[in-house]
Structure 1
Amino acid sequence: MKKWPLIILVVAVIGLALAFVIGQLLPNMRTTSSDLEVNITDPALIKQGAYVARTADCVACHTTLDGEAYAGGLPMLTPLGAIYSTNITPDKTTGIGNYSFDDFKNAVKHGVRIDNSALYPAMPYPSYQIMPDDDMAAMYAYFMSDVKAVNQPNQKSELPPVMNWRWPLSYWQAIFAPKRSFTPETDDAVLVRGQYLIEGPGHCGSCHTERGIGFQEVALTNADSEEYLSGAVIDGWRAKSLRGEHRGLGTWNTAELSEFFKTGRTDTTAAFGAMADVVEHSTQYMTDNDLNAMSAYLKTLTPAPNKEVVLPEKKDLTTQKLLDGNYDSRGAILYAEYCQVCHRADGKGVPRIFPALDANSAVYAKNADSVLQITLGGGRMPETPYDRMAFTMPEFTNLADADIAEVVNYVRNSWTNQAPEIGVNDVVKMRAFLAKKPKTATDIAPDLSINAATQGANHE
């Protein structure tokens, strides 16, 4: 009997060694070779690659606040510690200057580094897999010839020992990111283009689709499941459902979606948080045809399962009370003191300047994380050339936790809004989260509540 512990130990060691060997070999099954000869000095190919990189939103993740474009270093929080985006400039020492086209393609599409180890799934290669090699070639030419080389070493992850091993990631890839290709849902060319952009380079599912037990997207396509693009929480933001129910895109039309993608706002709402980064670095640069295609495709998605297709009608009893100075709750007093001057007594705000709070699906979402985060942390609209100024929401960290809960509940359930209430503990959790969260450009709120200094956009 005394031999059993030794036998179990030996078997465990052998099993671990075998798993390690297989894990080292699995990436070889994902990589591919191409016969494409890429002329990285071809101006037309470089221009195409610059556009493809915009559709893929590469700059947002691979650039830090006030950092050099594509030089990496942006921290991404995980439950186990931060990981950092890498330098993808053509620097030969710290970037990708020594990558062949196949090296580049295998990293972007298949999640395999030049040293044959697996990339963290923070890189959205499960989505990029469906991108054609011609687009990869164009991006390769752009990065190699038109991006400034920056000598900036990559930062090591803050994951604890064992959890930072690379070889187990190859099993994750085999299970959750198998090789796949693009399968159109229709013969309509506009909808096919929109589906491709949403599902592939736009990698919308990375934020707007729930994650499973292995932190994988529970669906990569609409054909997989109606859970695809049905909303998720990421980086403390509620990435809304992009499907057809009321709290999703049920109240939006195609023109409003295209306008939102292009300018970061409509007459009633504005992009904030991570979506502000997407507009600022990606969608504002896309062609009208591509924006319309994405919008048209999103409007074909049926309502998410088990979600209210239409909310019950509710009469506005709030506006007149505020106009009359009838503050019948602590939330009403706080709203009048801190919010009403911008968002108005009727909760309608000012078109394209101060977003509406009434009938704004970001406000009355079942999950209040976005409202909490922007109330506590502030934020800025994306800069685009389509509006004269980028306006800023100030942070209200000076308010007590109980007061934050009161005013958030008031906003989420006043006028025609209907939403579950939050508690003080939800505010405490969000404060703790924000204390650890790195700042990005669209999180920064300057000293003034309106950033009038920013006129137009600085195009890279």
Structure 2
Amino acid sequence: MRKSRLFAGVVVVVLAGVGIALYNNGNTRADDVADNQMTAADPAKPDAAAVTRGAYVAAQGDCAACHTAPGGKPYAGGYAIQTPFGAINSSNITPDRTHGIGDWTERDFFRAVRHGKRKDGALLYPAMPYNAYVKMNDADLHDLWAYMRSLQPVSQAPTPNTLGFPYNIRLAMLGWNLLYFNNAGYVADPKQSDAWNRGRYLVDGAGHCAACHTSKNALGGDTSAYLQGAELLGGYAPEITNNPHLGLGNWSEPQVAQYLKTGSNDKAVAAGAMGEAVEHSTQYLTDADTAAIAGYLKSLPGSNAQAPTALAGDNPVMKRGAHLYETNCMACHNVSGEGIKGMVTAFTDNSGIRAPSAANLVGTVLKGGRAAATESNVTAAGMPSFAWKLNDADIAAVLTFVRNSWGNAAPEVHAQEVAKARSDLKLVDAVH
């Protein structure tokens, strides 16, 4: 009898603890500061100054990139965000009453952005990074709301998601939030400078850098390897801490800021997903904000990953790769991998080249790529696809050579990796 009472008591305590945790986790009282009367589609015009500030907040959050389908109207949704669980299609966030957020109030908007809850109470998936946006302050969200109200309404119905069971059950997000959503706003560190705190606020909040650069567990939650690199679907977001081997350790703060502002520096050229982030978001940040982000990232020690021993030049794979580099790559990337500043990525002592995963390099060689186009760097040089010309072993060899030359050291790339990427991209193998 005593044991059963003890067990019952433990169960009650555990259930009470879970209940309290769920309540605290789902508490949206911080959003009550927002107006709950005027809707987005109401005719009263928002304050022009607030709209201007809100447009800047939208750029910080890269809102247009995810809420605009390729070739579609701005913010009308329909962009497919690929996840390991299926595609999540972004919603229409224009002030259209039928398909957008026209009948939402500011408080509805706050709760969606910071707490992942729609007006109808349904829980959003974390493809909408509310777990980062919860750090955004009231002033920024007030301005962002004003900007959203100023947009042209678009009558476009949302595209259904393609999530399979059980991931299509939104109620399951209660458990995910309990495990991975920290329901807390940004708290400045008084021991750090205003610039450092501003950088951290942008990185962890609107910039949601961890969404790509922090590795995820099996349920899609962030691991403790903060900004230390992560596998993406078919790609790799590199470490962006001050780690000298895999991160930004050999970049200066001005070089980091220049990369964010222009899409290139004398070490790297942004392309792919990061190129899109530069084009839609970071190029529009003020110099003070890009400097703040650079200073914060450079303050992070990051992982303790050490450089492996580079493959010897007389290794058969390296010799084959050197020949392929000379005949296929040298014209643009130059004799010693120095590239062309502002146009072509330099391979020399490049932490991105020696990342744990070669997925970005393999994908670029197979399908080609285009550099970010920005107001200060309009060239947007492109690289052609070599899928038609080089077979899987060729690509593996040349990338192994690049990853182990000019101050780099990284694991060998294998033909099987290239073959899988070629298959995923539905590209035909070179015939030779």
Above 0.5 in TM-score? yes
Match of 2:101 among 96, 99, 102: 96
- Distance in 1 separating the partners of 2:233 and 2:170: 23
- Write the deviation string for residues 73-103 of structure 1: whole angstroms up to 9, x where unpaired: 1112222321111111111111111111111
Q: Any idea what the Cα deviations from partners look like across 1:345-389, whole Å, max 9, x if unmatched?
A: 111111112111221111111211111111112221111121241
The verdict on how the C-alpha distance between 1:406 and 1:110 changes in structure 2, with shifts beyond 3 A counting, is: same
8 Å Cα contact 1:28-1:116 kept in structure 2: no
Among candidates 239, 242, 256, match of residue 241 of structure 1: 239
Q: SS of the counterpart of 2:81? A: strand
**Partner Cα distance (1:377, 1:259) in 2:** 27
Tell me the residue number matched to 1:56. Answer: 61
TM-score between the two structures when normalised by the length of structure 1:
0.81
Structure 1 Cα separation of the partners of residues 377 and 73 of structure 2: 26
Counterpart AA for 2:327? E
Residue 446 (structure 1) aligns with = none
Instruction: Output aligned runs, 1:441-456, within 5 Å.
Output: none
Select which of 227, 230, 254 maps to 1:229: 227
Q: 1:365 to 1:35 in 2, by over 3 A?
A: closer
* Aligned-pair CA distance for 1:314: 7.5
Indicate the SS of the match to 2:236: strand
| Count, aligned residues | 395
Contact 2:318/2:398 (<8 A) preserved: no
**Residues 25 and 182 of structure 2 are in contact (CA less than 8 Å); yes or no, is this contact kept in structure 1?**
no
Note if 1:423 corresponds to 2:381. no
Structure 2, unpaired ranges of 5+:
1-18, 39-43, 428-432
Over the matched positions of the two proteins, sequence identity in percent amounts to: 39
Residue of structure 1 equivalent to 2:12: none
Would you say the 8 A contact 2:51–2:144 is kept in 1? Answer: yes
Structure 1 residues 28 and 116: CA distance shift in structure 2, 3 A: farther
Q: Structure 1 residues 428 and 314 mapped into 2: Cα distance closer, same or farther (>3 Å)?
A: closer
Note the C-alpha offset of 1:264: 0.3
Residues 27 and 117, structure 1, Cα contact 8 Å, conserved in 2: no
SS of the equivalent of 1:421 reads: coil
| Paired position in structure 1 for 2:7 | none
Q: Does 1:395 align with 2:385?
A: yes
- Aligned partner of 2:277 in structure 1 is 278
Q: SS of 1:408's equivalent?
A: helix
- In the alignment, which of 173, 190, 198 is matched to residue 195 of structure 2? 190
Query: Of 17, 28, 31, which aligns to 2:28?
Result: 31
1:216 counterpart = 2:221: yes
Partners of 2:376 and 2:393 in 1: CA distance:
39
Q: Which residue of 2 aligns with 1:334?
A: 324
Is 1:143 matched with 2:134? Answer: no
1:176 paired with 2:180, answer yes
CA-CA distance at 1:46 after TM superposition: 0.7
Q: Residues of 1 paired with 2:54 and 2:339: CA distance?
A: 40
Q: What TM-score, normalized by structure 2, do the two folds share?
A: 0.86
- Cα gap change, 1:79 to 1:315, in 2 (>3 Å): closer
Tell me the distance in 1 between the aligned counterparts of 2:186 and 2:118.
23
Query: Which amino acid is 2:27 matched to?
Result: R
Name the CA shift for 1:232/1:34 in 2 (closer, same or farther; >3 Å): same
Please report how far the alpha carbon of residue 168 of structure 1 lies from its aligned counterpart in structure 2 after TM superposition: 0.8
Residues 121-136 of structure 1: pairs in structure 2 closer than 5 A: 121-136=126-141
Q: Deviations over 1:323-347 (max 9, x none)?
A: xxxx983222221222111011111
Unaligned stretches of 5+ in structure 1?
1-21, 220-226, 319-326, 437-460
2:14 aligned residue: none
The alignment partner of 2:355 has SS state of coil
Q: Which amino acid aligns with 1:263?
A: T
Matches of 2:381 and 2:231, distance apart in 1: 25
The SS at the match of 2:32 is: coil
1:62/1:69 contact within 8 Å kept = yes
| 1:362 equivalenced with 2:360 (yes/no) | no
Pick the aligned partner of 1:204 from 204, 209, 221: 209
- Relative distance call for 1:317 and 1:408 in structure 2 (3 A) is closer
Q: What SS does the corresponding residue of 1:289 show, helix, strand or coil?
A: helix
State whether structure 2 residue 281 is matched by structure 1 residue 291.
no
Shift of 1:173: 1.1
Q: Which amino acid aligns with 1:432?
A: S
**Other-structure match for 2:116:** 111
TM superposition shift of 1:176: 1.0
Q: Which amino acid aligns with 1:229?
A: L
Check whether the contact 2:226–2:302 (CA below 8 A) recurs between aligned residues. no
Deviations 1:387-410 (A, max 9, x none): 241111212221211211111112
2: CA distance between counterparts of 1:425 and 1:262? 37
Deviation of 1:35 after TM superposition, in Å, equals 3.7
Amino acid at match of 2:170: R
**Is contact 1:316–1:414 with CA below 8 Å preserved after alignment?**
no
Secondary structure of 2:50 counterpart: helix
Is 2:75–2:94's contact at 8 Å kept on the other side of the alignment?
Answer: yes
SS of corresponding position for 2:294:
helix
Pair 433,30 (structure 1): closer, same or farther in 2 beyond 3 Å: farther
Deviation at 1:40, TM superposition (A): 5.3
Partner residue in 2 for 1:255: 254
**Structure 2 equivalent of residue 82 of structure 1:** 87
The 1:298/1:162 distance shift into structure 2, 3 A limit, reads closer
Corresponding position of 1:66: 71
